[in-house]
Amino acid sequence: MKSQNFRKSSKLFGALCGGFLISLPVIPQALAEESTVKVNPSPSIFSEQPYNRSQAPGSPEPGARSPRPIPGDRIQQASPPAVSNDQQPLVEPRQTPIATIALNNGTVNIKLVNHTAAKITFQVIGDTAPRSLEGKSDVTLQALKAPITVTFERQDGGQLIVTPQASSEPGSLEVTFKEATNATQGRSAMRIERNGSVFLN
């Protein structure tokens, strides 16, 4: 009886040991799977492309849209330097022409008539050198191309009253000089524009 019980116990013990031995390989595998899950909860990271410094923040990929600015952020733009009133160009008031002539193909003949007794020095800026006009005499400057600036001055330092007037001949202007009684009447330059307008200064 005892021998039978011993045999049954031996078989039971053997079955338990065999089952334990069979389950041993399974336990490490389960532990390994569990440790793998804990170490790498996102296995997909190993399938992603390696990190590239050129794709770091601040260097977007070609063709990628730049991120929209966060509301509240302000982008400072360089404003142009302020221009003071002293640096602004002075604009001369528009003058009324003293006379108007019809130019002849853009040119004009100017007759200077000196009614004073003093000698007058005149010059067509950019066309002639300074010349002298004797008192009580005249001279004609021909085929001057507009725009034209003519300067004049009395050699004795006196002032001149200048009167330009269109001549009866097309493209001709007659300018007379007389003595001025005060400085406010004096003029020292005449300009003829391309449209035939005549201005004094």
**CATH code where residue 124 lies:** 2.60.270.50
Mean pLDDT value across the chain: 74
Task: Tally the domains of the chain.
Answer: 2
| Cβ atoms < 10 Å from Cβ of 154 | 20
Confidence band, pLDDT 50/70/90 cuts, at residue 136: very high
Q: What is the pLDDT of residue 121?
A: 98
> Strands 120-124 and 131-133, how do they pair?
antiparallel
Residues 28 and 103 in one domain: no
User: Quick check: 81 pLDDT over 60?
Assistant: no
**147-195 per-position pLDDT tens digit:** 999 999 999 999 999 999 998 888 999 999 999 988 899 999 999 999 9
- SS3 state of residue 192: strand
Q: 174: closest CA among 102, 101, 99, 113?
A: 113
Residue 83 inside a domain? The answer is no
Q: Which helix (H) or strand (E) holds 100?
A: strand 99-100
pLDDT value at residue 12: 57
Same domain, 26 and 105: no
Task: Print the domain residue range for 194.
Answer: 99-200
Residue-level pLDDT at 168: 86
